[in-house]
Amino acid sequence: MNIAIAAPKTQHEAMPSHPCDETLGSEGFRAIDRMRDALLAQLSGGISPASIMLAMFDWSIHLASAPGKQMELVQKALRKSVRLATHCAAAHARADTPPCIEPLPGDNRFRAEGWQKPPYSLWAQAFLLNQQWWHNVTNEVPGVMPHHQDVVAFAARQLLDIVSPSNIPFANPEVIDKAIQTGGANFIQGFQNWVEDVNRLVMGQPPVGAETFTVGRDVAVTPGKVVYRNHLIELIQFAPATESVCAEPVLIVPAWIMKYYILDLSPQNSLVRYLVSQGHTVFCISWRNPGAEDRDLSMDDYRRMGVMAALEAVSAIVPRTRIHATGYCLGGTLLSIAAAAMARTGDDRLASLTLLAAQTDFTEPGELALFIDHSQMHFLESMMWNRGYLSADQMAGAFQLLRSNDLVWSRLVHDYLIGERTPMIDLMAWNSDTTRRPYRMHAEYLKRLYLDNELAAGRFMVDGRPAALQNIRVPVFAVGTERDHVAPWRSVYKIHQLTDTDVTFVLTSGGHNAGIVSEPGHRGRSFRIAHKRTADTYLGPAEWTEMVPPKSGSWWVDWTQWLAEHSTPGRVAPPGLGDREKGYAPLDSAPGTYVFQR
């Protein structure tokens, strides 16, 4: 009997028979990490604790090893203490003693008359001096990574705001006066307001008052028809309001992270309605609100199925003419990518390019960069991987912290301590009508643009070729807003350095949303505007603001004049709504169906 003795296996033969086994095992381990991060995100408000801890460690170890900085902080603390003591003594002698420190621009917590009298004025002064000292503590520590410095300074501001005298019921003169007037009923009403807000949050309902701005009834009411629909967009063509129109239509590409009707709010402040009233044929994309089934939609899908599909439809409905393309926020970034790719292939369908609060260079994205680094990116990917999308509530806390005094603490004081509801306006109601972002697309957007800055570097590839902004030759109209925390105007201004074409730049008062929704007749609005031809000398942002004087009024008027200057002379008859023969028959009345998706 022959007995076969098996030879011992070599190291090579002992490896798994299927090459994918090891990959599958690694993916399983990664899934465990992602699930853990997704669960942790529910407690941290979508902010990576590791990112915060890394910043704190970097700052603390460098501060601990910087004796010169420590001595400087001790000196500043002593000087501020003497300054406060001197002010207190002077205020005791004279009630009208001027403050020893003023709040920062935009800080309105201590503007009320009650804060100008002791003891409240003294508490406010002590807080502001303390806030200034902590700014010294968290900034200019030698050796700290700039991003970590910004994170630590931001965290310190948030912690200080919690203990601000304005947020303490019995240290706030406005709250005390209200309590005296109502016999303390303001606290009862404030508690009821808080309970109602918590119930609405748990039930997924909009905030109090949002129901007075119903889509299709109060906002988004400009007449029109949906003339094209695919899985990602509805294209709305708005009905003409004049007997003749400019030959070139306007296509608006809004941001996909919110509903399109930021540009079609109430009739009196609707940009769409204004354009139509000025004789423009207006088309606007309404983005689908993606769900878990759309997790694999990519940025290129948004370009192809969004911008390019809309351009095809507009070109068919209004043939033999070019198009004024307009993009707002992320929609402007996507539009600039599409325009660069079109220029690369010789596609000349665009007559002009308008970018509203839209970045094309992401090296200086403002305070939003506090929540975008490799640690935070992994955290966000885990959150999106779990659901298949990023919902607005998962990052709402981060965006509110960027303007915590306006969006968090002032509301807490007004609604819950004073006991009065903050009046709802159409812009606030729109802001609560949130959308989701697909996993793959949002991950690509953050990595390729924010982290790697591929677009500004000329490395953003479309169909295997770089979408270089330098190839754009159509005139550009770019708008930045003075108090923009999402797309800082100096970042938007960099379009001058990235294109080889004529650029008209506008800097308007207001923030990211209110600066764009700046209709004629709006009190207190102003803007600066200047034109730069290709051959003109480049001016830096500081030089530009010194040389360009402000104008009162709305930039909308100058924009429509600019559109007219870059359009075919004369007017033509308005085109029909859609074109049945070419496959673009009207489907639904504006605002369509995608805008109602929850």
- Those residues whose C-beta lies under 8 Å from the C-beta of residue 377, and which sit 6 or more positions away, are 443, 446, 447, 451
pTM of the complete model? 0.89
Per-residue pLDDT at 404 exceeds 70: no
Query: Whole-angstrom Cα distance, residue 245 to residue 235?
Result: 20
Interior angle at CA 267, CA 595 and CA 244, nearest 5:
100
Specify whether the CB–CB gap between 183 and 227 falls below 8 A: no
Query: Whole-angstrom Cα distance, residue 454 to residue 447?
Result: 9
Per-residue pLDDT at 8 exceeds 50: no
What's the pLDDT score for residue 29?
Answer: 80
Query: pLDDT tens-digit profile of 239-277?
Result: 999 999 999 999 999 999 889 999 999 999 999 999 999
Specify whether the CB–CB gap between 150 and 61 falls below 8 A: no
The residue ranking higher by pLDDT, 411 or 480, is 480
> What tokens were used for 387?
């659901």
What's the pLDDT score for residue 204?
Answer: 79
What's the pLDDT score for residue 13?
Answer: 43
Q: How far is CA 366 from CA 141, 168, 331, 489, in A?
A: 20, 30, 18, 9
Q: Over range 415-437, report the average pLDDT.
A: 90
Residue with tokens 């509903």: 259
Nearest to 217 by CA among 589, 597, 594: 589
**Helix (H/G/I), strand (E/B), else coil: 394:** helix
Specify whether the CB–CB gap between 512 and 486 falls below 8 A: yes
Per-residue pLDDT at 22 exceeds 80: no
Beta bridge partners of residue 530, listed in sequence order: 505
Q: Tell me the one-letter amino acid at 429.
A: A
Specify whether the CB–CB gap between 226 and 588 falls below 8 A: yes
Q: How far is CA 6 from CA 3, 11, 84, in A?
A: 10, 15, 89
Nearest to 137 by CA among 205, 69, 191: 69
Specify whether the CB–CB gap between 529 and 555 falls below 8 A: yes
Specify whether the CB–CB gap between 466 and 440 falls below 8 A: no
Query: Whole-angstrom Cα distance, residue 56 to residue 568?
Result: 58
- Is 20 an active-site residue? no
Question: Which stretch of DSSP H or E encloses residue 385?
Answer: helix 374-387
Query: pLDDT tens-digit profile of 222-248?
Result: 999 999 999 999 999 999 999 999 999
Per-residue pLDDT at 14 exceeds 60: no
Half-sphere exposure of 5 (CA within 13 A, CB side): 2
What's the pLDDT score for residue 590?
Answer: 96
Q: How far is CA 551 from CA 35, 409, 484, in A?
A: 53, 33, 19
Q: How far is CA 567 from CA 28, 246, 510, 594, in A?
A: 57, 7, 29, 32
Per-residue pLDDT at 6 exceeds 50: no
Q: Over range 1-26, report the average pLDDT.
A: 48
Per-residue pLDDT at 582 exceeds 80: yes
Other CB atoms closer than 10 Å to residue 545's CB: what's the count?
Answer: 18
What's the pLDDT score for residue 129?
Answer: 96
Q: Over range 25-39, report the average pLDDT.
A: 76
Per-residue pLDDT at 40 exceeds 80: no
Question: Which stretch of DSSP H or E encloses residue 284?
Answer: strand 282-287
In percent, the amount of the chain with pLDDT more than 90 equals: 70
Query: Whole-angstrom Cα distance, residue 299 to residue 258?
Result: 16
Half-sphere exposure of 494 (CA within 13 A, CB side): 19
| Residue 136 region by backbone torsions, left for phi larger than 0, else alpha for psi between -120 and 50, else beta | alpha
Q: What single string gives the DSSP state of each residue in 362-373? A: -S--GGGGGG-S
Whats the size of the chain, residue-wise? 598
Query: pLDDT tens-digit profile of 71-97?
Result: 999 999 999 999 999 999 998 888 778
Query: Whole-angstrom Cα distance, residue 84 to residue 17?
Result: 76
Query: Whole-angstrom Cα distance, residue 392 to residue 432?
Result: 9
Query: pLDDT tens-digit profile of 486-523?
Result: 899 999 999 999 999 999 999 999 999 999 999 999 88
What's the pLDDT score for residue 399?
Answer: 61
Nearest to 208 by CA among 405, 415, 418, 513: 415
Q: Over range 358-382, report the average pLDDT.
A: 83
What's the pLDDT score for residue 402?
Answer: 62
- Among 7-21, 216-230, 439-453, whose mean pLDDT is lowest? 7-21
Catalytic residue among 20, 100, 246, 329: 329
Per-residue pLDDT at 142 exceeds 60: yes
Per-residue pLDDT at 10 exceeds 70: no
Q: How far is CA 364 from the centre of its chain?
A: 14
- Those residues whose C-beta lies under 8 Å from the C-beta of residue 566, and which sit 6 or more positions away, are 324, 351, 352, 475
Per-residue pLDDT at 355 exceeds 80: yes
For residue 410, name the pLDDT band (cuts at 50, 70, 90): confident
> What tokens were used for 380?
């966000």
Per-residue pLDDT at 386 exceeds 80: no
Q: Over range 546-555, report the average pLDDT.
A: 95
What's the pLDDT score for residue 5?
Answer: 40
Other CB atoms closer than 10 Å to residue 99's CB: what's the count?
Answer: 16
> What tokens were used for 404?
């915590």
Query: Whole-angstrom Cα distance, residue 392 to residue 389?
Result: 10
**Helix (H/G/I), strand (E/B), else coil: 389:** strand
For residue 403, name the pLDDT band (cuts at 50, 70, 90): low
Per-residue pLDDT at 550 exceeds 60: yes
